[in-house]
């Protein structure tokens, strides 16, 4: 990794201004395998200054010029796809098939969807005699998480470029190497100096400096609700636009008319995907009380088919969780489930047999879960599923909506019209009917404490745009 101890600022790889370093840990072995430089507020200042200098000229480029740039980025990204997949697999422990087919591939899919969006987007229109025009918001601070790293980097950086913004990216210090590779992609694609800048660091130092910086016009943040509150507080004195995608505790409603075996199995697999480290994972499964025991048996069998192991081991479906901090938190919450009286169906505390090293978690299912239990309310961010019985649909909808979160929800039914009716009643930013294919053009974001604003497609582009009305333009 040639640039791991450098930052990308003003079109150049530069040395950091401070001496701090951080090891990148392989979660499969708990051993360091790389090292990155950690930034200071002074590094943030020079990155923001570069973005501010570049903004006036880049903002005046045409949408067509910026679309051509996105197309070049897509071409170079395709050339580096395998490098990015291998980096993500190593730094977060994602099985290679997942790293290639989903983690790295989501970058490709976002770029292609953005190209389609830009081709159809109406940048200017007349409303009577007033011209309505869209303009870039300015300098954007982009703060991204470790769990789907390149997905969140691309779905922020690419639309910011397409909008005409300049930016500073602070990726997660836990999974930073893919961000370095993406900076190399942008450099090779010819992104002008200062348009994109990369500074590594932690939230307390670099994140704080970015969110409070007077020359930053917008913060786009993906992470925990707790951290999102801090971001909003830091940004408030300068009245920045704050765009947040935060935590989730997504409900999966399996209705009476669903194919129970198919619905429960797909629900378990969706919950356990990426080792449960997805903010929109369906971690609360609601099943008819009369079929609770049947659902539990199906879920146990589905969990047993998962293979926990190293990212590069043949047959692995679940890699480790990303860090010791994450492992310890999951263990604590599994312990809460046991202590509060939930029925442990499979899994539980400790590592799986035969895996003494690495942050491996036993795929865990709890049954007979009550809505007030900690495991039904807190975001666990690991392969832990709670099954909650309901007496009727009114109770199911009420329990599903009884959460401080509202990122996603899932409905399983044999009757599409039935599923649609339930979908309109769920307080979530996206509702998935019968586990459909992933849609890069669907808006992504949440209600309540799951955040504000939306990403992907035209919503992701509009997030970085101001709307101006020129009154009397055609008087």
pLDDT digits (tens, 9 = 90+) for 441-464: 999 999 999 999 999 999 999 999
Tokens of 42: 């002074």
- What gap in Å lies between CA 66 and CA 193, rounded to an integer? 14
Q: Quick check: 321 and 382 in contact, CB under 8 A?
A: yes
What are the helix and strand counts (H, E) for the chain?
15, 22
The secondary structure element, H or E, covering residue 63 is helix 63-92
1 pLDDT more than 80: no
Mean pLDDT in residue range 64-83: 98
Alpha-carbon gap, residue 136 to 143, rounded angstroms: 19
Q: What are phi and psi of 141, to 5 degrees?
A: -100, 125
Report, as an integer, the average pLDDT of 42-56: 98
pLDDT digits (tens, 9 = 90+) for 367-397: 999 999 999 999 999 999 999 999 999 999 9
Cα 47 to the center of its chain, rounded Å: 24
311 close to 28: Cβ distance less than 8 angstroms: yes
Q: What share of the chain is helix, strand, coil (3-state, %, to 5)?
A: 45, 20, 35
114: its two tokens: 């953005």
User: Max alpha carbon distance in the chain (Å)?
Assistant: 77
Whole-number pLDDT of residue 2: 86
Rounded Cα–Cα distance for residues 25 and 433 (Å):
38
Residues 163 and 288: their CA atoms lie apart, in Å, by 47
Q: What 8-state DSSP symbol labels residue 302?
A: H
- The CB-side HSE value for 29 (13 A sphere, CA atoms) comes to 11
CA gap 433, 322 in Å, rounded = 30
pLDDT score, position 54:
99
Edge-to-edge, what's the strand order for the sheet holding 430-433? 343-346, 364-367, 384-390, 284-288, 251-254, 408-412, 430-433
DSSP structural state of residue 31? E
Global confidence as pTM: 0.97
Residues classed as catalytic:
245, 279
Q: What is the residue whose two structure tokens read 């198919």?
A: 262
Summarize pLDDT for 250-287 with one digit per residue, the tens.
Answer: 999 999 999 999 999 999 999 999 999 999 999 999 99
Question: Does the structure show a pLDDT above 70 at 75?
Answer: yes
Tell me 352's DSSP state.
P
397/426 Cα distance (integer angstroms):
7
Contacts of 213 (CB under 8 A, 6+ apart): 44, 45, 48, 141, 238
Q: Provide the CB-side half-sphere exposure for 279 (13 A, CA).
A: 29
For residue 474, give every residue at least 6 positions away whose Cβ sits within 8 Å of its Cβ, in sequence order, or none: 126, 129, 130, 131
Selection from 457, 466, 442, 468 nearest residue 165 by Cα: 466
pLDDT, one tens digit per residue, over 298-346 is 999 999 999 999 999 999 999 999 999 999 999 999 999 999 999 999 9
Which candidate, 171, 147, 181, places its Cα nearest to that of 379?
147
Taken as a whole, the chain contains a residue count of: 475
pLDDT tens figures, 355-370: 999 999 999 999 999 9
Q: Residue 290: which residues within 8 A CB-CB, separation 6 or more?
A: none
CB-CB contact of 187 with 157 (8 Å): no
CA–CA gap between residue 77 and residue 110 (Å, rounded): 11
What structural domains does the chain harbor? 7-246+451-470 (3.40.605.10), 251-440 (3.40.309.10)
Q: Are 342 and 375 in contact (CB under 8 A)?
A: yes
User: Looking up tokens 């992470």, which residue turns up?
Assistant: 223
Q: What is the pLDDT of residues 97-156, one digit of tens each?
A: 999 999 999 999 999 999 999 999 999 999 999 999 999 999 999 999 999 999 999 999
Q: Is the pLDDT reported for residue 237 higher than 90?
A: yes
pLDDT one-digit tens code per residue, 169-217: 999 999 999 999 999 999 999 999 999 999 999 999 999 999 999 999 9
* Mean predicted confidence (pLDDT) in 286-299: 98
């Amino acid at each position: 990794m040639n640039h791991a101890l450098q930052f990308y600022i003003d079109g150049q790889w530069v040395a950091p201004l401070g001496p701090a370093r951080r090891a990148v840990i392989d979660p499969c072995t708990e051993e360091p395998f790389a090292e990155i430089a950690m930034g200071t507020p002074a590094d943030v200042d020079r990155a923001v200054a570069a973005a501010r200098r570049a903004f006036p000229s880049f903002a005046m480029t045409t949408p067509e010029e910026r679309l051509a740039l996105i197309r070049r980025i897509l071409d170079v990204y395709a050339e580096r796809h395998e490098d990015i997949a291998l980096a993500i697999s190593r730094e977060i422990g994602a099985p290679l098939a997942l790293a290639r087919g989903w983690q790295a591939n989501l970058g490709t899919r976002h770029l292609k969807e953005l190209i389609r969006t830009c081709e159809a987007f109406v940048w200017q229109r007349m409303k009577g005699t007033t011209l309505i025009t869209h303009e870039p918001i300015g300098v954007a601070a982009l703060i991204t998480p470790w769990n789907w790293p390149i997905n969140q980097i691309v779905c922020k950086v690419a639309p910011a470029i397409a909008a005409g913004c300049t930016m500073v990216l602070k990726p997660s210090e836990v999974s930073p190497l893919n961000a370095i590779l993406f900076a190399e992609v942008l450099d090779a694609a010819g992104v002008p100096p200062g348009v994109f800048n990369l500074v590594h660091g932690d939230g307390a130092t670099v994140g704080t400096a970015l969110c409070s910086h007077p020359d930053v016009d917008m913060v786009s943040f993906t992470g925990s609700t707790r951290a999102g509150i801090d971001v909003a507080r830091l940004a408030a004195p300068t009245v920045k636009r704050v765009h947040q995608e935060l935590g989730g505790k997504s409900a999966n409603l399996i209705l009476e008319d669903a194919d129970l075996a198919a619905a429960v199995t797909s629900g378990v697999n969706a919950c356990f995907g990426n080792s449960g480290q997805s903010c929109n994972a369906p971690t609360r499964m609601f099943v008819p009380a009369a079929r609770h025991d049947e659902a539990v048996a199906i879920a146990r069998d589905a969990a047993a088919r998962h293979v926990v192991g190293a990212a590069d081991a043949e047959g692995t479906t679940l890699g480790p969780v990303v860090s010791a901090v994450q492992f310890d938190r999951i263990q604590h919450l599994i312990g809460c489930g046991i202590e509060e009286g939930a029925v442990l169906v499979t899994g539980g505390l400790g590592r799986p047999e035969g895996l003494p090293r690495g942050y491996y978690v036993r795929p865990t299912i709890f049954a007979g879960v009550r809505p007030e239990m900690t495991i039904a309310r807190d975001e666990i961010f690991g392969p832990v599923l709670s099954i909650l019985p309901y007496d009727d649909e009114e109770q199911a909808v009420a329990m599903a909506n009884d959460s401080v979160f509202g990122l996603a929800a899932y409905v399983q039914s044999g009757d599409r019209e039935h599923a649609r009716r339930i979908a309109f009643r769920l307080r979530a930013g996206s509702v998935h009917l019968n586990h459909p294919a992933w849609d890069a053009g669907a808006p992504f974001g949440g209600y309540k404490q799951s955040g504000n604003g939306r990403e992907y497609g035209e919503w992701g582009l509009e997030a970085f745009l101001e709307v101006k009305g020129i009154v009397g333009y055609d008087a």
